[in-house]
């Protein structure tokens, strides 16, 4: 199995002097934590898309020395949308293997990724117990099908379940070329600043990418976007992860 870690972004809202995945939570970087979990689920190869401060990230990858192969893909257009970064990774991926797609700025209970890796077909993780607001990417489901995947949801949309996307996806081998096509089309339709979530949304809503949904079931996780998220990660989320064990 292979994985893609999107780690090219600047992280301006955090105001830090390093890539977000090099933030240390409890004395260990997010990157190191990703590596440990990916080793446990049997990843053979990881593609890390780099951009902002890529030399710093490259050094950290070398020092971590994971057991699987890591291929770094530099996206010189990293200040554009993340769909550009995902296209670069999918061009290198093995089309015969399923793929885990991951945002790099997430602290999480390891069993979340384990369950996702073991799922069949295409799948995504959602948390039904989320705080409403403009930031969460919401996943709306009707009769088992994703009918919206966006930060904003129309008030008249008909759905029977809603949750926040964790930012982790399992893409079956037969859907990798489909996802690449969705990214290419999203860039054409929306411009190079388009996030990869838009490509996923377009694929899901058009029926090209059918997605199973797995729930977090109260397992702790946190996307780190703002300075207050770091404090929450240290004081709340990491202790909750450690308590689970």
pLDDT, tens digit, 9 for 90 and up, residues 174-223 = 999 999 999 999 999 999 999 999 999 999 999 999 999 999 999 999 99
- What string of DSSP letters covers 102-116? EESSEEE-HHHHHHH
pLDDT at 122: 98
* Residues forming a β-bridge with 71: 47
Tell which wins on pLDDT, 31 or 17.
31
Long-range Cβ contacts of 89-92 (<8 Å, 24+ apart):
89/4, 89/6, 89/47, 89/49, 90/4, 90/176, 90/179, 90/180, 90/183, 91/180, 92/47
Give me the phi and psi of 46, to 5 degrees please: -120, 130
Tell which residue, 139, 126, 142, 146, has the closest CA to residue 205: 146
Residue 10 CB partners (closer than 8 Å, separation 6+): 51, 52, 78, 79
Locate all alpha helices (DSSP H) within the chain, ordered by sequence. Answer: 30-40, 54-64, 82-92, 110-118, 176-190, 196-206, 227-232, 238-244
Q: For residue range 141-167, what is the model confidence (pLDDT) as tens digits?
A: 999 999 999 999 999 999 999 999 999
Q: Give the span between the Cα atoms of 60 and 3, in whole angstroms.
A: 18
Confidence of residue 9 (pLDDT cuts 50, 70, 90): confident
- What string of DSSP letters covers 57-105? HHHHHHHH--SSEEEEEE-TTTTS-HHHHHHHHHHHS-TTS-EEEEESS
Residue 91 CB partners (closer than 8 Å, separation 6+): 180
Q: Give the span between the Cα atoms of 106 and 201, in whole angstroms.
A: 20
Q: Give the span between the Cα atoms of 232 and 222, in whole angstroms.
A: 9
Q: For residue range 132-141, what is the model confidence (pLDDT) as tens digits?
A: 899 999 999 9
pLDDT at 32: 97
pLDDT at 184: 96
Secondary structure (3-state) at 55: helix
Q: For residue range 48-102, what is the model confidence (pLDDT) as tens digits?
A: 999 989 999 999 999 998 999 999 999 988 888 899 999 999 999 999 999 999 9
Tell which residue, 73, 52, 83, has the closest CA to residue 192: 83
pLDDT at 77: 84
Confidence of residue 12 (pLDDT cuts 50, 70, 90): low
pLDDT at 240: 96
pLDDT at 125: 98
CATH architecture of 2-244: Alpha-Beta Complex (3.90)
Tell which wins on pLDDT, 244 or 108.
108
Q: Whole-prediction pTM value?
A: 0.95
Q: Give the span between the Cα atoms of 175 and 164, in whole angstroms.
A: 23
Tell which residue, 75, 58, 60, has the closest CA to residue 9: 75
Q: Give the span between the Cα atoms of 60 and 39, in whole angstroms.
A: 17
């Amino acid at each position: 199995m292979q994985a893609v870690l999107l780690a090219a972004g600047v992280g301006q809202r955090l105001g830090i002097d390093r890539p977000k995945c090099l933030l240390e939570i409890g004395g260990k970087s997010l990157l190191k934590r990703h590596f440990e979990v990916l080793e446990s689920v049997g990843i053979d190869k990881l593609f890390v898309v780099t951009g902002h401060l890529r030399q710093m990230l490259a050094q950290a990858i070398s020092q971590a020395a994971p057991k699987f192969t890591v291929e770094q893909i530099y996206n010189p257009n990293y200040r554009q949308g993340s769909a550009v970064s995902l296209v670069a990774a999918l061009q290198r991926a093995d089309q015969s293997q399923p793929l885990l797609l991951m945002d790099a700025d997430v602290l999480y209970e390891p069993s979340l990724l384990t369950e996702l890796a073991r799922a069949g077909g295409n799948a995504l993780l959602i948390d039904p117990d989320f705080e409403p607001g403009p930031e969460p990417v919401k996943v709306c489901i009707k009769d088992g099908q994703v009918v919206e995947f966006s930060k904003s949801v129309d008030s008249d949309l008909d759905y029977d379940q809603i949750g926040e996307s964790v930012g982790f996806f399992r893409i079956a081998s037969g859907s990798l070329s489909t996802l690449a096509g969705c990214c290419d089309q999203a860039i054409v339709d929306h411009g190079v600043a388009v996030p990869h979530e838009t490509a996923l949304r377009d694929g899901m809503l058009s029926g090209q990418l059918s997605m199973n949904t797995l729930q977090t079931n109260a397992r702790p996780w946190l996307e780190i976007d703002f300075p207050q998220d770091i404090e929450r990660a240290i004081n709340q989320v990491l202790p909750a992860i450690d308590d689970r064990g």
